[in-house]
Structure 1
Amino acid sequence: MSELSANGNNGDSVRQQPNVLFIMADQMRWDVLSCAGHPICRTPVLDGMAARGVRFANFYTAAPTCTPARYSIFSGRHVHVHNGWSNGWPTQDGEIFLPSILKHYGYATAIAGKLHFAPREEAFGFDDFRSFRVEGPTPERGYDAYMTRKYGEYTRDRIEEGTGGKGVGRFADPPEDYDTAWITRQSLEALDGLVDSSKPWFLFASYHDPHSPFVEPEPYFSMYDRESIPLREIPPEIRRLRRDARGTQERAHVIDDPEVVQAVTAIYYASTTHVDHDIGILLAALDARGLADNTIVIFLSDHGDMMGDRGRMNKQVMYEGAAHVPLIVHVPASIAPSLTPGRVVDEITGQVDILPTVLELCGLPVPEGVQGKSLLPLCAGNAAGWPNEAFAAVRAAPFVRQEAYMVGKKRMLRTPEYKLIDYGADFRMQWELFNMAEDPAELHNLADDPAHRSILNALAARLEEWQAAEPSPVRVLGMPTPSYAYVPADRRTAMRAAWEANMRRSAARRWQ
């Protein structure tokens, strides 16, 4: 428990609890922030937030896919436990998410932007739902509905003719109608409503950028000169995989034209800077409304993007570009005076640690069944007893004749020195083992090196131990258990069983 006390539903005492501004970018890599050392992309607002707060330098996704990662962030549980394996799939019945917990304890809750949960019509604990997609109980208040009312039929990647190709180019409509600007406006409107509630509040400002399509309005579209971005080397095997790809979705994950990577990267940087700018608008609003001294601000991403690393684009892999994501936590001194501004935490952390951190900062109990640990000791410089490891899992359709380059059933363990990727029994290549201290670009697979046999076996055994854990369901006293029976339970159970069986076959093949 933090310096705060858990007040439960106690009227005036609850009102003294801190507010939470929870900001998410979609598909943002950890290294695109200038405070993380990026030489080109500019993120002055997030740099300032890191200087006033704590930046986690080794924070990892629970799944390099949108929906499963978001479930893990808001449940504090790993993918193979909450069972929300894929975009468009719900978790198993009975999973409880952070907004619902906070609402139960007297918080007013709101979302502006992208939730990406299923089933889409559920509110998931949000009192005020302003959706980026057609989701939530009030889709008529969403961005899709706004653009349809204003322009009629439209697509999200509307671009000016001659500024790019499909999904890449200058936004065709006024800048104020771009989704980043819309989400910021909706966040400010939601904030005013939350303040009027006279309750502590939780606001989820969830941006779609820098996720594809790679479209931006001016001045951002022209902000970064694509010619100044270094050309990437395309490995020969990527050209073959691109040639053999069976469809548009597969081709989206491999790239064989370095000039296309340049063009896309320039807009990716522009999108990142645009989101950074609009986060500044939100932070300024806290100051203007006198809320900053009692508001916790958390910034993170659900997963990253390969952005040309190893000739790959997009996500769904366990390499650093997709799995390693940013996290910045700012807690005012009035809430936690022991936290040192500007601290950089180098310990390995993961998305399941977010829910217990928020609850502890709010002075609320962390329910049993949550798998993560509060990050507050690390924020204060106390790493004693920290496990210093992160896990991830994903299950998606295998691509291109079961090559291990892309997606499929896989899991990952990251330790301070090594990363082990287990591809299970579905791929020609079973393991990738990287010494992250000596090979941060993950170019030299040590899995077949006899000198690393004992290390591989030890890490594989730890993966098995992690997968075997079966925490109890999360339950909050007095809170009804939700039911999200959208996909039949037997199908969800079969999906998890198939993944676990695949990984057990994988474990049986490892070196003895």
Structure 2
Amino acid sequence: MTNILFIMCDQLRHDYLSCGGHPHLKTPNIDALAARGVRFDRAYVQSPVCGPSRMSYYTGRYVASHGAIWNFVPLRVGERTMGDYLRPLGLRTALVGKTHMAADEATMALYGIAKDSVEGVHLAECGFEPYDRDDGIYPPGFTEKGKKTGYYRYLRDKGYDTDNPWHDFANAAERQGGGTASGWYLANAPLAVRLPAEETETPYMTRRAMDFMAEAGDRPWCLHLSYIKPHWPLMAPAPYNAMYGPEHVVPAVRDGAEKQAPHPVYAEFQSHPESLNFSQDKVRETAIPTYMGLVKQIDDSLGELFAFMEEKGLMQDTMIVFCSDHGDYLGDHWLGEKELFHECAVRVPMIVVDPSPEADGARGSVSHALVEAVDLLPTFIEFAGGTPPDHVLEGRSLLPLLRGPAGRVPAGWRDMAVSEFDYSFRRFARETLGRDVDECGTTMLRTERWKYVYCDGFRPMLFDLAADPDELNDLGGDPDHGPVCASFQARLFLWMRQRRRHVTISRADIAAWTDKAMGYGIRIGFWSEDETVRGRPDETSTP
């Protein structure tokens, strides 16, 4: 039996694991996973925003190809997703947690596809069976949406009887002297939520994953366990809210020079509230310990899950992937949140455990190959015995990296990672910069040495990662680096031309179509029957 456990955290940085180099945050269960598999230390997402990043994970396609450019932008009907590829291979494909999927309801209605039909559910849920979908983030204005979740019902059954127990208990604390202190405000981050730890979101989702595995029986499965944390609101249950303090906060990666005549797009994001706040040491020392506590809770919950899987005999035949949808600035580069392309935002943790004997030679190793989120879907397909359709999928299977000698990078492996971000949904950025809604595209090209960022209507950003690994010195406006920028703009044009456009017909079918018309007796442009024998005109035989 072949199973796949696809674990994703939301907004987890690549360097906030002990195996990723954090000096204070200890994640022994995730570290043990890395010791059993391969840790990819240069893994990049296709967008530093939840929705488009996840749609690339689920479709195996770049944002320019699938079109879901930001959160809540529907993934169009016709974009095949993970379940569409894995179900025909015999895997029950289910979801516990978050996807950020928005259904293309207009097209579904156009073709009469009911949302509650089998087909409609798959189209609305990224191809997954929604065993327990919960996207989290239900502030007061999202109360009705939150009521549709299993976690809402769980909290109500526990006696937390408000219209929005997700906010009022799982993401809020008791204010000293009475009242509610909301996790939406960074000043409240050190406070403990009004729930015991075992009733908060991360342990709940972990138990639901165990429920699925217990019910699955002998049928192979792919379970997407998608944690909501450490994404904001930044508030944790006891004891996780107090495990770390200001002394555990690593210094911000930033330099005063970054504020001197910065790129216009970068400058705009520096001015946003999350950036202005996280630029202050007091805010970082208040909020980051809670972020760390939420990561620690995920690690503890995974320890329970892995012990359950060992007991049930599931570890020896389950591929396990641990990753994130994007990172978090946490004050680096004078920024908060994500959305731009510095390493802390676009580079993510990625650990893959292949249980196959062929993978024994690479276990416990670290791969420095450039890998991307789009690589996971073809990896899953190949692991499950299928053939990835390379006329549709834009990633490449990681099995050659997992099953070769430790550290080997196959010949012809990519030398460039790509990520995209469209800030048209950020009204203040769009209006301040004077851009139309279709003039806000940005694209990162990251090679071994360089990181180039194309920005519609502005000069590019450019970082020499060999001389400036912390990305503190933007060379995009330096005339001496004009030729480097020009070469990357040419690479970007070529990359755009190479997107998978012929998604309804394979390359083999295109090649086989050659000369079919002749076989059918169709004769276009020939002078005489003699020419059809030769296949082309002969200048001496035509008038």
**Fold match, TM over 0.5?**
yes
Q: Does the Cα contact within 8 Å between 1:129 and 1:138 map onto a contact in 2?
A: no
Aligned to 1:437: 466
Aligned to 2:420: 393
Q: 1:374 to 1:246 in 2, by over 3 A?
A: closer
- After superposition, residues 19-30 of structure 1 pair within 5 angstroms as 19-30=3-14
From 402, 409, 415, the equivalent of 2:433 is 402
Structure 2 SS opposite 1:383: coil
Q: Is residue 143 of structure 1 aligned with residue 151 of structure 2?
A: yes
Q: Deviation of residue 450 (structure 1)?
A: 3.5
Return the alpha-carbon distance in structure 2 between the equivalents of residues 40 and 223 of structure 1. Answer: 11
Structure 2 SS opposite 1:388: coil
Q: Is residue 415 of structure 1 aligned with residue 442 of structure 2?
A: no
Aligned to 1:159: 173
Aligned to 1:76: 60
Aligned to 2:523: none
Q: 1:148 to 1:439 in 2, by over 3 A?
A: farther
Q: Is residue 344 of structure 1 aligned with residue 344 of structure 2?
A: no
Q: Is residue 67 of structure 1 aligned with residue 51 of structure 2?
A: yes
Q: Does the Cα contact within 8 Å between 1:175 and 1:181 map onto a contact in 2?
A: yes
Q: Deviation of residue 107 (structure 1)?
A: 1.1
Q: Does the Cα contact within 8 Å between 2:172 and 2:194 map onto a contact in 1?
A: yes
Q: Does the Cα contact within 8 Å between 2:342 and 2:471 map onto a contact in 1?
A: yes
Return the alpha-carbon distance in structure 2 between the equivalents of residues 239 and 462 of structure 1. Answer: 29
Return the alpha-carbon distance in structure 2 between the equivalents of residues 371 and 166 of structure 1. Answer: 37
TM-score of the superposed pair, with normalisation by structure 1: 0.81
Return the alpha-carbon distance in structure 1 between the equivalents of residues 352 and 505 of structure 2. Answer: 25
Q: Report the aligned-residue RMSD.
A: 3.0
- What are the Cα deviations for residues 284-336 of structure 1, in whole angstroms up to 9, with x where unaligned? 121110111110000110100001101111011111111010100001144x3
From 30, 34, 45, the equivalent of 2:29 is 45
Q: Does the Cα contact within 8 Å between 1:304 and 1:323 map onto a contact in 2?
A: yes
Tell which deviates more after alignment, 55-64 or 264-273. 264-273
From 289, 292, 317, the equivalent of 1:269 is 292
Q: 1:44 to 1:308 in 2, by over 3 A?
A: same
Decide which structure has greater helix share: 2
Q: Does the Cα contact within 8 Å between 2:97 and 2:228 map onto a contact in 1?
A: yes
TM-score of the superposed pair, with normalisation by structure 2: 0.76
Q: 1:296 to 1:240 in 2, by over 3 A?
A: same
Structure with the larger RCO, 1 or 2 (CA within 8 Å, 6+ apart): 1
Q: Is residue 132 of structure 1 aligned with residue 134 of structure 2?
A: yes
How many residues align? The count is: 449
Counterpart code for 1:353: D
Structure 1: state its 5+ residue gaps. 1-15, 478-512
Return the alpha-carbon distance in structure 2 between the equivalents of residues 221 and 252 of structure 1. Answer: 21
Counterpart code for 2:412: G
From 205, 223, 226, the equivalent of 2:225 is 205
Return the alpha-carbon distance in structure 2 between the equivalents of residues 199 and 99 of structure 1. Answer: 15
Structure 2 SS opposite 1:221: helix
Tell which deviates more after alignment, 360-369 or 166-175. 166-175
From 336, 344, 347, the equivalent of 1:321 is 344
Counterpart code for 1:30: H
Q: 1:382 to 1:229 in 2, by over 3 A?
A: closer
Counterpart code for 1:461: A
Larger Rg: 2
- What are the Cα deviations for residues 348-405 of structure 1, in whole angstroms up to 9, with x where unaligned? 111111111111111111123111111122222243110121101111235452299x
Return the alpha-carbon distance in structure 2 between the equivalents of residues 455 and 239 of structure 1. Answer: 23
Q: Does the Cα contact within 8 Å between 2:329 and 2:337 map onto a contact in 1?
A: yes
* Percentage of identical aligned residues: 32
- What are the Cα deviations for residues 449-508 of structure 1, in whole angstroms up to 9, with x where unaligned? 34322222111211111122331455699xxxxxxxxxxxxxxxxxxxxxxxxxxxxxxx
Counterpart code for 1:218: A
Q: Does the Cα contact within 8 Å between 1:231 and 1:262 map onto a contact in 2?
A: no
Q: Deviation of residue 253 (structure 1)?
A: 3.9
Q: Deviation of residue 140 (structure 1)?
A: 4.2
Return the alpha-carbon distance in structure 1 between the equivalents of residues 433 and 443 of structure 2. Answer: 16
Return the alpha-carbon distance in structure 1 between the equivalents of residues 393 and 384 of structure 2. Answer: 16
Q: Is residue 452 of structure 1 aligned with residue 481 of structure 2?
A: yes
Aligned to 1:466: 495
Q: Deviation of residue 88 (structure 1)?
A: 0.8
Return the alpha-carbon distance in structure 1 between the equivalents of residues 494 and 414 of structure 2. Answer: 14
Return the alpha-carbon distance in structure 2 between the equivalents of residues 470 and 61 of structure 1. Answer: 17
Tell which deviates more after alignment, 25-34 or 252-261. 252-261
Aligned to 2:401: 378
Return the alpha-carbon distance in structure 2 between the equivalents of residues 308 and 277 of structure 1. Answer: 26
Return the alpha-carbon distance in structure 2 between the equivalents of residues 246 and 160 of structure 1. Answer: 36
Q: Does the Cα contact within 8 Å between 1:318 and 1:412 map onto a contact in 2?
A: yes
Return the alpha-carbon distance in structure 2 between the equivalents of residues 202 and 448 of structure 1. Answer: 47
Q: Is residue 55 of structure 1 aligned with residue 55 of structure 2?
A: no
Structure 2: state its 5+ residue gaps. 105-114, 116-123, 139-144, 507-543
